[in-house]
Every structure is written in C-alpha cells, then in structure tokens.
A and B are shown apart, each in its own frame.
Chain A
Amino acid sequence: MDEIVKEEIEGNVEIIIYGIINSIILSLMALGFTLVYSIARVPNFAHGALYITTGYITWILLNKLTGFPYPLAIAIAICVTAVIGALIYRFILIRVRGMEISEIIATYAIGLAILEGLRWGGLRGGTFTLPPFISGSVQLFGVSVDYQRLLIVGIGIVTFACLYLFTHFNRVGLALRGIAQDERAAMMLGIDSDMTAIVSLAIGSGLAGFAAILLLPLGNIIVEVGYNVLIFAIAVCVIGGLGSWGGTILASFIIGFAQILTEAFLSTHYQMVVALFAIIITLLIKPSGIFGKQKELEERV
C-alpha cells in the first residue's frame, strides 16, 4: 500500500481526492471477498493469494512470451483465477461445507500454500511490475493525479454498477441472491446451492483478479501484497458487516479516509495499524459490523 500513495499529501483537496481513490481501491480489494461470503457463506481466506496469482500470471504472459497483447493476457489471467476459485470449491470446500472452522483453515491453508509457493517459485524482489494502462497524469483542482488512478475510480464505479444490475436483474444473479438470503428456501425452489457456490467463488476470484489487474500497476507484485490485500479485504468486510454490500463500500470509505488522514498527519507506518485497530474497535462496539445481517441471538434461542 505504501507505494500506492507516494506523494506527500498536503491540503484538503488532496486529502479528499486521494481519500476517494484509496477508498475505491479498498472496496475493489474487498469486493470479491464480500461476494463470496454473502453468497456461499465461505470466508475465502485465499483471496489475497488469488489476487497475486492473477498479477503473476499476467506478468508471465507479458514477459515470457514476447509480443503477447496486454488485454488478452489480462483476460486469460482473470479466467485462470476464476477457474482456480471454482476448483477450490469443487474439490476442497465442498467437503467441509458448513463447518466454519474447517472452511477457514482450509482456505487459509490454500492461500498460504499459493503465496509461499509463488515466493519459492521465484516471486521475490521488486522486478515484477505490470505496466499501467495509460501513463501520464493530469491536474485535478491543482492536484496531480495519474491516469491509472482515475481509471481505477471510473472502472471501480462501473464495476459496482454492473454487479448491482447483475444481482438485481439477471437470472443467475437473482439465484445467487436467493441463496445468499436463505439457502434452504432457495434450494426448495430449484436453485442448486453447490452450483451457485461454485459460480460465486469463480466470480469472487475473478473479481480479486480484476482488482489485481487494476491495482497492481501502481506497485510491485510481491507476496506481501497478497497478505495485505487479505487483511484489507477482511478489515473492510468485517467493519461493513460480513456479506453486506453497502456496508463494504461504506467501510472502505471509512478506512480509506482514515488511512489517508493518518498518512497526512502521522506517518505511513500507521496505515495498517489503523485498519487493524478499526477492525477491533468495530467488533467491540457492534460485532456484526455497520450493516451486519449476522443472525443475532434471537434466532438461536
């Protein structure tokens, strides 16, 4: 994250602009995680690993095969990640479905295995970078913002809109929402819960990859980023309420601005500390998050 906002930030305009950018970045990171949790009820701890995997695959395609078109590389990488996500569900998670703890341990283990495997396989140092889509920067209210960041904001907003339309007006999307709300009832209406879970993992992983493609040009592809993305995604989702979309976006704005503010007035070291503290404080005050729909005690008594 340190690389993402390098400039010394001064002035309110700058804080606002970079706060918005940072918030959108965070929500893009968290989007896949939220989607998977809200539909399949699986906390996908392999999220960060999938994020890095996409970046790495794109990098390989671009650098090992000369002249490979960038858009095609991106498309292939995202598809591969989506397939990996689906396979994780189909062959591993499906067997531990419903056992929350096993799900966490299994996805966490898979994520670790992927990340550490990549590190072992040579993903070390700062040589792995993706080119930005458009280079250069523009002056916005007297603040210089590069095109990649503007693009991220634009694409981010379009993505949210698309996802909203998809889940509200598309058959598959509606089925996904049905499962998210009440799995049993949806199953009785003829929605295959395993199939939707596979789809949701595929989409969630694809979104992780999509975010990676958008965000990785801002920095290096390193394993630590994978861990950080996981932490940020969890932070955003927990604060917003696991499985709540509105909450995710709101929470990413809260953390996003909190981070930019700490950066402006304290130091970049505290960025992660802020996110982690935010999680702990939120859980203390309202364990189910801002918009949490976690079933409270009432349902269980």
Chain B
Amino acid sequence: METMRKERIDRGVRVRASGLYAISSWREMLYLMGPPLALIIGVILLPVILELAPYWKRVINIMCVYALLALSFDFLANYVGLVCLGGAFFVGVGGYLSAIFNVYLHFPVYLSIPLATICGAFICTFLLMPCLPLRGVYFAIVTLMYPLLATRVIEALDILGGTNGITGLDSLPNEYVEHYAIILMTLFFLYAMRRFVNQDVGLVIRGVKDNDQAVKASGISVTKMKAFAVCIAAFMGCFGGAYMSHMYMWSGLSMFALDFSIIPMASVVIGGGGTLLGAIIGSFILVPLSEVLRNFGTFRIVIYCALLTGFIVFKSEGIMVYAMRKYHQFERWVKV
C-alpha cells in the first residue's frame, strides 16, 4: 500500500519576506505588516464600529481586561514557568486599592488607577514572595488559595465594606476615554511584552523556566528574577482590576471571583500558550462568547471548561500557532 505523508513547506512570500527583500515590494510588505496592522487598527476602531450596536460596547472593555489578565497568565506560565491559578488575586488587589484611593482618600481617577496599579503590583509581589521557591503543582495550588483567602479574610474581618464591597467610585470621564484607556493599554502591554521577552533580561527570565539550576550557577538569584516577573504580571492584573472597579464604580468580593482566574487561563490555552498574541485572541473569542451565552447562567462556565479541556487534550498548540502555520506554510501530501 502506498503511504503518504504530509509535508509542510514555507510559502514563497514568507521566504522572500524574511530577508532583505522584505521592503522591496508592496506584496511582501503587506504580507508582513498586514496581520498586525489589521489587529491594531481593528481593535482601535472597534468602539467606533460598535456605535451601531451599543449593547456590545461595554463588552469591549471587559474583553480587554480579560486580555490583559490572559497576557499576564501567559507570560508567567510560558515564559517564567509559574502557573498562577490566582489571577483573580491581582484583579482584586488592584480593584480594592483603587477603591480605597478613590473613595477613602478622595484621589481623582487619573491618580487612583495608576497608583493602585503600581502599589498593587508591589503588594502582590510581596505577598507572593514566599511562594516563589515552589514549583509546578505546589505554586499552582498556593496561588489558587490566595484569592479565596482574601475573600474569606475580608468576610471574616468585615473590613473594606465586607460583603457589600466599596461603592461610589468615580467613573471615568466619558465613554471614549473609558474605551481607549483600556484598548491602548492592552495594545501597549502586548507589544511591550513581546519586546521584553526577547531582551537580555527577558532571556534570563526565560532561562529560569528552562533550567533554574543553570541560572543559579550563573550567579543570578532565581527568586529575584521570579519576583521581578511576578511584579510585571501583577502590574497588568492590577491595572485591569483598578480599571474595572472604576468602570463598575464598585469594588467588592466578586473582584476575587473565579472568573478572573479561569477565563484568562482558558483564553491562553485556546489562543495558544507562549505566543502572547494568542492570549489576546483567545480572550477576544471567549468574552464575546460568554456575552452571547449570558442567558445560560452558570452553564457558561461549563462551556468554557469543556472548551478548555478540549483544547488542552486535542489541540494543545492553540489557535494562534495553528493560524501562523497556515499563514506561513502550505501543506501537501507526498508519497513516502
């Protein structure tokens, strides 16, 4: 019997575009620049386009918040090797801090969000510091505990508004500021992170994931590097939280909700781990989907989980890697 094998070959245009010739013709330029530009312009124009369907405008913000969280999860999991199941902790800390700054200390919005982000990042890093020597399952378990612990402590001590949360935060000045604040931050973080992981510092952090022993033997403190990485991830998460508390003009226990841990994780798995862009794409698919499924109540979580499990088991590379392959290469069957 004749056996066939699938062969993958780079497209001609990719080969041409990878060298100096990239700038020689419009076609190659378009090939290289097209997808990123489409993404950037598409996302930036989204609020304008959605004037037609105002209901969906709020979804943009939530979508971007989740995109940031997914970015932070992807960075920690696939570049540092720390699987943080407690993304909600970052959100909660950011949200509550921003509420404290705004409601109790009467800081204006444009001060409370950045302050909450920065302070939140440091606080989260400080609190997670003890867990950093842990690896694999242990780190995942402990980080899973953090948001739960925070919820129970707030409940038990009845501080920060207890179960009612803190209400009466200022909203952002107007709708467009609200949209563009988060959209631009998301894009900024996406490209900043993509750049960062290829810098020298980024390489050291990736080294920690590949082989922490060798990093230690190179005279670099692994814990310090991990703390640095967590700080960056927490920065993104806290910004999301701080922003969201102002968007809802409220900060409460649901800031520590499971959603903020599970949806970003699902986004990363679906979008493609380790690509950073995949995290964004994943959440741009999942969040609108969850909006569509709003009427199903908690059944939404069942659907995410099914999707998540399905992708992990059957298509662990994720959409992004798959799409990249299709874009850059073509496949054909050849005789062996």
Residues of A within 8 A of B (CB): 43, 92, 95-96, 100-102, 104-106, 108-110, 112-113, 116-117, 119-120, 231, 234, 238, 242, 267, 269-270, 272-273, 276-277, 279-280, 283-284, 287, 297, 300-301
Contacts and interface: CB of A to CB of B under 8 A. Distances in A.
B299 interface: yes
A110 B140 contact: no
A277 B149 contact: yes
Given A101-B136, A104-B137, A279 B142 contact: yes
Interface residues of B, number: 42
B85 A108 contact: yes
Contacts of B144: 234
B137 A279 contact: no
B213 A105 contact: no
A238 B266 CA distance: 26
Contacts of B149: 273, 276-277, 280
B133 A109 contact: no
Given A238-B141, A273-B149, A283-B142, A267 B305 contact: no
B306 A113 contact: yes
Contacts of A301: 213
Given A238-B138, A279-B145, A287-B133, A110 B309 contact: yes
Contacts of A272: 148, 152
B134 A283 contact: yes
A117 B299 contact: yes
A280 B130 contact: yes
23 contacts: A43-B137, A101-B77, A101-B136, A104-B83, A104-B85, A104-B140, A105-B265, A106-B313, A112-B302, A113-B305, A116-B298, A117-B302, A231-B145, A231-B148, A234-B141, A234-B145, A272-B148, A273-B156, A276-B145, A276-B148, A283-B134, A283-B142, A287-B133
Contacts of B130: 280, 283-284
A106 B140 CA distance: 13
Contact of B296 (A100, A110, A120): A120
Contacts of A276: 145, 148-149, 152
B305 A112 contact: yes
Given A101-B140, A279-B141, 4 more contacts: A96-B313, A234-B144, A272-B148, A280-B142
Contacts of B131: 280, 283-284
Contacts of B155: 269
B213 A102 contact: no
A101 B302 CA distance: 20
B247 to A, nearest CB: 25
Contacts of A117: 298-299, 302
B312 A287 contact: no
Contact of B313 (A43, A95, A104, A242): A95
Interface in B309-336: 309, 312-314, 316
A96 B149 CA distance: 30
A280 B86 CA distance: 14
A273 B153 contact: yes
Nearest to B303: A113
B233 to A, nearest CB: 16
A41 to B, nearest CB: 9
Contact of B305 (A43, A110, A287, A300): A110
B150 to A, nearest CB: 10
Interface in B246-273: 258, 262, 265-266, 269
Nearest to A94: B313
B297 interface: yes
B123 interface: no
A106 B309 contact: yes
Given A280-B145, A287-B138, A269 B316 contact: no
Nearest to A117: B302
B301 interface: yes
B308 interface: yes
Nearest to B307: A109
Nearest to B273: A101
A300 B297 CA distance: 47
B183 to A, nearest CB: 29
Contacts of A108: 85
A300 B155 CA distance: 43
A242 B312 contact: no
A112 B213 CA distance: 36
Contacts of A113: 301-302, 305-306, 309
Contact of B312 (A43, A96, A279): A96
B254 to A, nearest CB: 15
A280 B302 CA distance: 30
Contacts of A283: 130-131, 134, 138, 142
